[in-house]
Amino acid sequence: SLGSISIDMVNITAGSSSPMLSSLSHNPQIIRADEATDIIITVVLDDPDRTTGQVQARIAKDGIGSTIQLNDNGSGVDEVADDGIWSGSVLWTPNGGGYARLEAWATDGDTVSPTIAVTINVEGAVDSGGILEELRGDITTVIGGVIIVVILLGGLIMFNRRRSLARDLELIESWGGAPAGAKAGWDATTEVSAADAAMSPMNMDAADNAPMEEDDGKIRGGDLDWDNV
């Protein structure tokens, strides 16, 4: 009526209908390198106004992968239509062992949900039994072990060589062919100390002069007076 006032109140919450994803999973859990695997991907969508028209997922390793369209219409690998669980599958062959990334997002008109992601462990190739991957991981330990073995063998060889040289030197000394202060060298020769080397010429001079000194004390035939004999 004339002069009356009518007031209507509307409560608007912005973003209440934005899609949100959760519980991203994949099957099988074990994925092997260089082996084609049919992977089933599922994710739970929370969409209050049910206007989300597209949910996608991507699986990749080292930047190389595939994008998958998920659905909730009961077709393909999706078991129940309109239950909020979106599903899809992809045949994927990862290149080499390591880690892959699986991520998913939903699109509602111009609105894109936050991306959720999980990490997938890609095991080594079956044909190598994973041995090559294990050796690569423990390469430092293997190299260290080899170095230790080489050092031990070298030390054993050096010890045996020194012991053999010591026996040879003892044998030479028993023959009187080496000075008392000599020792075995690394090149299988006899090392003589500086004092012994200095004494050697003196000993030789003494040996040369000894007969002459003895001769001086002897009477030679020419020294006799044969006329008075």
- Average of per-residue pLDDT across 59-81: 94
pLDDT tens sequence across 173-221: 777 654 555 554 544 444 544 445 455 555 555 545 555 444 555 555 5
Give mean pLDDT, residues 96-105.
94
Tokens linked to 111: 């609105």
- 54, two tokens: 């597209």
- Is pLDDT at 73 greater than 90 in this prediction? yes
**109-123 b/e (C-beta count within 10 Å ≥ 16 → b):** eeeebeebeeebebe
| Residue listed under structure tokens 């989300």 | 52
* Per-residue confidence (pLDDT) for residue 38, from 0 to 100: 96
Q: What is the mean pLDDT of the chain?
A: 77
Q: Give the residue ranges of DSSP H helices in 33-137.
A: 131-137
Domain boundaries, the chain: 20-126, 143-209
Give me the percent of the chain exceeding a pLDDT of 70: 63
Q: Say whether pLDDT at 10 is over 90.
A: no
Q: How confident is the model at residue 82 (pLDDT cuts 50, 70, 90)?
A: very high
* Fold type of domain 20-126: Immunoglobulin-like (2.60.40)
Tokens of 39: 């992977």
Measured distance CA(64)–CA(152) in Å, rounded: 48
| H or E stretch covering 148 | helix 139-174
pTM for this model (two decimals): 0.50
Contact at 8 Å (CB) between 102 and 90? no
d(CA 6, CA 20): 38
Mean pLDDT score, 219-225: 53
From the list 80, 67, 74, the residue with the least C-alpha distance to 41 is 67
Instruction: Compute the CA torsion angle 211, 212, 216, 221 (nearest 10 deg).
Output: 80
* Model confidence band, residue 4 (pLDDT cutoffs 50, 70, 90): low
Using CB atoms within 10 Å of the CB of residue 107, give its burial: 0 to 12 exposed, 13 to 18 middle, 19+ buried: middle
Q: What is the pLDDT of residue 128?
A: 47
Q: Is the pLDDT of residue 167 over 50?
A: yes
Cα–Cα nearest to 117, from 153, 78, 161, 65: 65
